[in-house]
Chains A and B, each alone.
Chain A
Amino acid sequence: MSDDVTTTTVAESAGTHPAAAPVSNTRVTPAPAQSSRSKAVERTIGLLALLGTVATVWLGIWVTPPDKVQGDLVRLVYIHPGVAWVALYLAFGLAAVSSLLYLWPRTRSLLWDRLAAAAVEVGVVFNVCTLVSGSIWGRPTWGVWWAWDARLTSTAVLLVLFLGYLALRRVPAEPEVRARRSAFVALFAAVDIPIIHFSVNWWNTLHQGATVLNANLSPQIHGSMAWTLLLGFVALTLAFVWMLLVRYRIGVLEDWLGANELDLALAERQSEGAAPANGGSVAGGPVDGPSGDRVGVA
């Protein structure tokens, strides 16, 4: 995530460009580059996540024995708590911490806002997987696809809150304004995380209590079942990290385009006026903006 860039002017960076030279007050940052080391780390994490997921599926479906009570349905337990762990604790927890760091004056940086946005988007995907896989498990176990159980409901509420967070980020605003209000919403939504975690203790719920992180910290699962569950947690955590890195990079590129496309378009316009014989084609036509709009740079 080392995408620090230094600011320069068009005239400095394009000092040799006869068309762009007159534009001395337009400030353009160099395009954010990704180091080869960071690419290698990203690829390694992605590969490990893929291998871990394949191994979890193989162990979970074909190797581990059926449960004495649940039968084959226990196989869903190797993957459902893993996606819930990523969504509720890692993704939304990270979003809350990043938002707090953004709001804290001494650590304020758009880096934290970008990290929070990336974590929430990935977290929403995992949250949907949590709810749907839980529902698929609940149908044969409880006899219903959905119950207004405390844990299910609070998890669904969290999904709605973070969908609202993502919708809020789409509202046009200056980056600092967007970051500030997004951070407040993320912190507000994060209040639901401890409610979800302790819901099985605070209320009588259909959802079972904690198997691993219970009050006595004594896991109620053993042998190959325990190792498969652990592997599922590790594999899905790696998948989350990989998605977070890629999504963060997307945020960096979107921010760069958002910050520079107007300056570059202005530079292009002015260079056209300064050197009409040149044809003035600097940027090479329209491009896709960060929100998918066509951005005219002609």
Chain B
Amino acid sequence: MRYVTAGYVFILVVLAVYAVQLVWRRRRLSQAVDRVAGPFDQDRVAGPVAATAAGPRTEASA
């Protein structure tokens, strides 16, 4: 029976560790994307009101 236990424990531990690692990697990358894209996304959401508040627009942004 110890071989059976060893087999089950190995498979379940490997799959569990891999699953946790996947979730951790996804969370870390999501946070990285949020940090990089955050300011641009916020500006897009802010719309023309923020544009007015930001002062005259340059030729490139018009």
Cβ-defined contact, B6 with A136, below 8 A = yes
Using a CB–CB cutoff of 8 Å, the interface residues on chain A facing chain B are 10-11, 13-18, 20-24, 28, 30-32, 53, 57, 60-61, 72-73, 75-76, 79-80, 83, 122, 125, 128-129, 132-133, 136-137, 139-140, 239, 242-243, 246-247, 249-250, 253-254, 256-257, 260-261, 264, 282-285, 287-290, 297
Number of chain B residues whose Cβ lies closer than 8 Å to a Cβ of chain A: 44
When A11-B61, A17-B54, A253-B29 are in contact, do A30 and B10 touch as well, CB less than 8 Å? Answer: no
Chain B residues with CB below 8 A from A249, complex form: 26
Whether the Cβ atoms of B3 and A250 lie closer than 8 Å is no
In the bound assembly, the distance between CA atoms of A278 and B36 in angstroms comes to 18
Chain A residue contacts of B14, Cβ below 8 A: 125, 128-129
CB < 8 Å neighbour of B33 from A10, A18, A32: A32
Task: Please determine whether B58 and A133 come into contact, CB atoms closer than 8 angstroms.
Answer: no
CA distance A10 to B44 in the complex (A): 10
Query: Can you name the residue of chain B whose Cβ is closest to the Cβ of A128?
Result: B14
Instruction: State the CA gap A133–B39 with chains docked (Å).
Output: 49
Question: In the complex, which residues of chain A have a beta carbon less than 8 angstroms from the beta carbon of B29?
Answer: 250, 253-254, 257, 288, 290
- Docked Cα-Cα span, A15 to B62, in Å, equals 7
Q: Contact check, B33 vs A253: say whether CB atoms are below 8 A apart.
A: yes
What secondary structure prevails in chain B residues at the interface with A? Answer: helix
Of the candidates B7, B25, B39, the one whose C-beta lies within 8 Å of that of A14 is: B39
Q: Are A137 and B8 in contact (CB under 8 A)?
A: no
**What CA separation (Å) do A223 and B37 show in the bound complex?**
56
Determine whether the beta carbon of A21 is less than 8 Å from that of B60.
Answer: yes
User: Taking CB as reference atom, which chain B residue is nearest A29?
Assistant: B37
Query: B60 → chain A, closest Cβ, in Å?
Result: 4
**Chain A residues with CB under 8 A of B25:** 250
- In the complex, the chain A residue whose C-beta lies closest to that of B51 is A16
Question: Are the C-beta atoms of A125 and B15 separated by less than 8 Å?
Answer: yes
- Which A residues touch B12, using CB under 8 A? 53, 57
Q: Which of chain A's residues have a CB closer than 8 A to the CB of B23?
A: 246
- A17 vs B40: C-alpha distance when bound (angstroms): 8
Given A79-B11, A136-B6, A239-B15, A15 contacting B43 (CB threshold 8 A) = yes
A16 and B54 contact, Cβ closer than 8 Å, known pairs A261-B36, A283-B35: yes
Which residue of A has the minimal Cβ distance to B15?
Answer: A239
Given contacts A73-B4, A253-B29, A288-B28, contact A125 B58 (CB under 8 A): no
Q: Provide the bound-state CA to CA distance between A61 and B34, in Å.
A: 45
CB neighbours of A57 from chain B (8 A): 8, 12
Complex-state Cα separation, A18 to B53, whole angstroms? 10
Q: How far, in whole Å, are A239 and B22 apart by their CA atoms in the complex? A: 12
